[in-house]
Amino acid sequence: MLIFLHIVIEIALVIRVLLRPHRDPASRVAWIVVIVALPVVGIIAYLLLGETNIGRKRVTRMKTIMAAMPQVNEIPGWDAKNVTPELQEHQRALFRVGKSISGYDPVGGNQAQLMADSNVAIDTMVADIDTATDHVHLLFYIWMPDNNGGKMADALKRAVARGVTCRAMVDDIGSHLLIQSELWKDMEASGVNLCRVLQVGNPLMRIFNGRIDLRNHRKILVIDNRITYCGSQNCADPEFLTKAKYAPWVDAVMRFTGPVVRQNQHVFASDWMAYNNEDIRETLLQPLVPPEPGFAAQVIASGPSARYSAVPETFETLIYSAERELFITTPYYVPVSSLQAAICAAANRGVNTSIIFPARNDDFAVGATSKSYYEDLLDAGVKIYEYQAGILHAKTMTVDGEITLIGSANMDRRSFELNYENNILLCDENVTAAMRDRQQEYLADCLEITAQEVAQWPWTKRLWNNVLAIVGPIL
């Protein structure tokens, strides 16, 4: 009887996998293999992790909040003449994709500075917080109770002491060490408004209330509606003590001023109000300071509540726009087939295409899966480099010396379907040159991977990589 029941459940789940909308064919195959090949375990895995379900209550709440929030273009002093950038047609097309995802238009009058390294980024953030007069809004996926984490906490406590409203939001899993630490209690006692996002609670009950592994992977800091930061860096030391054997963690972060700040503020506010009863819409309606001359930029915020395949579509659009040069850095590469094809197509049509991956990945399954794609990339003419001096955690893309994408999104299935992410797309030769120079600096600590080297991998390594690639769509 139990065997019959098990078979019925397996068949029902396989049918459900085949009927689910917005499912990549490779993902369907992977889940069917898991369900059939792993009795009981495969069924439980699918029930817990198989569907991108954020929960009906959460969806309803988020829709209600977003409907009531003022739009960025409703800010007092927001003059389309001052914030609408002059763009060439091919540039407008790139920004139209971003607008279709999160609703933000490209805005002009922005300035940016690429931080020198992780410690400088934290120190600069702290210095900016020390100048805050009205509010500080902070969101990190991982915030560690270490040296840099302590610096940030101390800066928030100082700001609160002088009357600045500070709101700090962290992912419940990513920042669990901070949440359990005395530092968290100290911030709460000092008056910092704290929020835990996507709390796990009872894992079994999460089957009925959204996936347990949905995460808020964003990294946002907004100060007084005049400064924001965007990039790959969490609030932690580059030594990253929980995974010290992979250290240092090397990140890329930019400090922005200009109208694009208000878009990052809008993303923060939507997250804050989705998990708090506090209404902070008045912060969004503070008058816009007339922008100075600057470049065009746009926040692209994505997540499981956004359009299906929004993140890979963003990457692919930029990749297909490349005419001369395409340079990518990503720590985690588990692409959908269309993204892999886009990168190969860039190299095949003569675009100088380069990608840097970590030599050692903190996620062994993702690292092996990434390597399963090397042969096709190399055959197309893509230059592959592996970073040797730690984990190159920077998520960057530069195109033709004028376009830069920087942010939190990886080129993997988690960022495509499960994580809430934020990126900034910008069009500026000077900022892109700075980012391109940084990418070139990374190459000094890289080894190039050749087709001959890949061809000489032992069959056991190829087997391991390809087996893990089969289940890559569910990683």
Catalytic residue among 24, 395, 412, 428: 395
Q: Is 57 a catalytic residue?
A: no
Q: What is the largest CA-CA distance in the chain?
A: 74
Beta bridge partners of 171: 197
Q: CB neighbours (10 Å) of residue 78?
A: 16
Catalytic residue among 151, 217, 266, 371: 217
Cα dist from 392 to 353, 360, 416, whole Å = 18, 10, 20
* Distant-in-sequence contacts of 401-404, Cβ < 8 A, 24+ apart: 401/324, 401/325, 401/429, 401/432, 401/433, 401/436, 402/91, 402/427, 402/428, 402/429, 402/432, 403/91, 403/94, 403/318, 403/321, 403/427, 403/432, 404/428, 404/431, 404/432, 404/435
Catalytic residue among 128, 224, 251, 412: 224
Q: Is 134 a catalytic residue?
A: no
Task: Report the distance separating Cα 232 and Cα 217, nearest Å.
Answer: 9
Task: Report the distance separating Cα 357 and Cα 372, nearest Å.
Answer: 13
Task: Report the distance separating Cα 104 and Cα 20, nearest Å.
Answer: 30
Task: Report the distance separating Cα 285 and Cα 255, nearest Å.
Answer: 22
> What residues contact residue 185 under an 8 Å CB cut-off, 6+ apart?
none
**Which two tokens mark 400?**
């033709």
Distance in angstroms between the alpha carbons of the first and the last residue of the chain: 33
Task: Report the distance separating Cα 289 and Cα 248, nearest Å.
Answer: 39
Task: Report the distance separating Cα 352 and Cα 372, nearest Å.
Answer: 22
Catalytic residue among 135, 137, 151, 219: 219
Q: Is 363 a catalytic residue?
A: no
Question: With contact defined as beta carbons under 8 Å apart, do 150 and 270 qualify?
Answer: no
Task: Report the distance separating Cα 370 and Cα 412, nearest Å.
Answer: 9
Q: Is 400 a catalytic residue?
A: yes
Catalytic residue among 172, 213, 400, 445: 400
Residues in the chain: 475
**Which two tokens mark 393?**
């955690």
Q: Pick from 428, 469, 145: which is nearest to 260 by CA?
A: 428
Q: Is 217 a catalytic residue?
A: yes
Question: With contact defined as beta carbons under 8 Å apart, do 248 and 389 qualify?
Answer: yes
Task: Report the distance separating Cα 280 and Cα 143, nearest Å.
Answer: 23
**Which two tokens mark 64?**
């209600």
Give CA 49 to chain center in angstroms: 20
Q: CB neighbours (10 Å) of residue 232?
A: 26
Query: What type of residue sits at position 445?
Result: D
Catalytic residue among 171, 393, 412, 428: 393
Lookup result for tokens 């295409």: 353
Known catalytic residues are 217, 219, 224, 393, 395, 400
